[in-house]
Amino acid sequence: MASHPLASILQSFDFRFAPERDIRLQPYSGSAWRGAFGFALKRLLCVMRLRPCAGCPLSGVCLFPGFFGDDPEHETPRPYILAPQPTPPGGWIRAGEPFAVRLTLIGGAARAAPYVAQALVDAAARGLARQRVPFACLSASAAEPITLGGPSGSIEVNQDPSEPPSAPRTVRLRLATPLRLRLRGDLVTGRSLTPAHILEATLRRARLLGLVEPERDLSQLRELARLLAWRDARFGWLETTRFSSRQDTKMQLGGIVGEAWLDLAPSPELWPWFRLASLLHVGKGASMGFGRIELHAE
């Protein structure tokens, strides 16, 4: 894993949008953005008059099922992460106030980059949440330059290359959005969370996304992870509410938030995997920005 650049399997776009009117969103608004994005992507790609994907004769060649399929709530990992910034305290975003959204494509999904980036711009322009407040796209940056169309003209996407840093001895790990993991059917809490839990979730997610060969033996990595422990852990639980358009109801999605320090000296080989966790997100709701891990070398 450490031998190949992460940029070869991930492609990210950083967007800055601004609402045309004041709008109030949930603290973590990934569900609202994902719903609007999914509708816009289907409008952009579907040549069958937006018929259901199930039974469609083109489902084997269409790009849309790989991103959403028949059931957008299904927990099979999707090859993208839509991660909006947390909304300000109180949830209000004022008209004209910049709001950041990162869209990351994983593995082979990068071939659809022009479509998904355009769909996100279209989704924002059509409006978010029940108020359908339009968001204008102010700017976008990506690993490779492309041009997107918008209601106010074309938007040039600038190059923004990045390289993963070398392994630090100590790292501060912050759970920036709620992390929801299950261990043998039981929810992992802040008191029971270990570095090995995060590594295991990362390995599983990477394998399901096709980033790790199915036959690769990962037992040594798991053994190394058991040597690690938190220092000065400050984890808690945050309950959030999101609206499911498919079920037309509000749903609870709680998870662990907080931070801890991690001494990597016993297992420096694991650094690329924790780095990957910070890029992939882990746990339930990863495709809409939950389970975001921030790493800060100390």
Q: Which CATH number goes with the domain that contains 237?
A: 3.30.70.1900
Average pLDDT of span 275-279: 90
Kindly indicate the confidence band of residue 55, based on its pLDDT and cuts at 50, 70 and 90: confident
Average pLDDT of span 51-61: 86
Backbone angles phi, psi at 145, to 5 degrees: -75, 130
Shared domain for 147 and 176, answered yes or no, is no
Check pLDDT > 90 for residue 191: yes
Kindly indicate the confidence band of residue 244, based on its pLDDT and cuts at 50, 70 and 90: low
Kindly indicate the confidence band of residue 240, based on its pLDDT and cuts at 50, 70 and 90: confident
Shared domain for 128 and 24, answered yes or no, is yes
Shared domain for 268 and 205, answered yes or no, is yes
Shared domain for 48 and 10, answered yes or no, is yes
Contact 119, 41 (CB under 8 A): yes
Compute the residue count for the chain: 298
Check pLDDT > 70 for residue 75: no
- Whether 83 is covered by a domain: the verdict is yes
Count CB-CB contacts under 10 A for residue 144.
12
Shared domain for 155 and 247, answered yes or no, is no
Q: Which of 108-112, 117-121, 154-158, 167-171 has the lowest mean pLDDT?
A: 154-158
> Which pLDDT belongs to residue 161?
41
Shared domain for 49 and 192, answered yes or no, is no
> Which pLDDT belongs to residue 107?
85
Kindly indicate the confidence band of residue 60, based on its pLDDT and cuts at 50, 70 and 90: confident
Mean pLDDT of the chain: 85
- Whether 164 is covered by a domain: the verdict is no
Check pLDDT > 70 for residue 73: no
- Whether 124 is covered by a domain: the verdict is yes
Average pLDDT of span 205-218: 86
Shared domain for 151 and 202, answered yes or no, is no
Residue 142 or 88, more confident: 88
Q: What pLDDT, in 10s, does the model give residues 105-127? A: 988 888 899 999 999 999 999 99
Give dist(CA 263, CA 21) in Å, integer: 46
Kindly indicate the confidence band of residue 59, based on its pLDDT and cuts at 50, 70 and 90: confident
Point out which residues pair with 249 in neighbouring strands. Answer: 244
Top mean pLDDT of 28-32, 73-77, 175-179 is at 175-179
Shared domain for 138 and 174, answered yes or no, is no
3-state secondary structure of 269: helix
pLDDT > 70: percent of the chain: 84
Domain range holding 152?
Answer: 6-159
- Whether 165 is covered by a domain: the verdict is no
Shared domain for 118 and 179, answered yes or no, is no
Q: What is the largest CA-CA distance in the chain?
A: 57
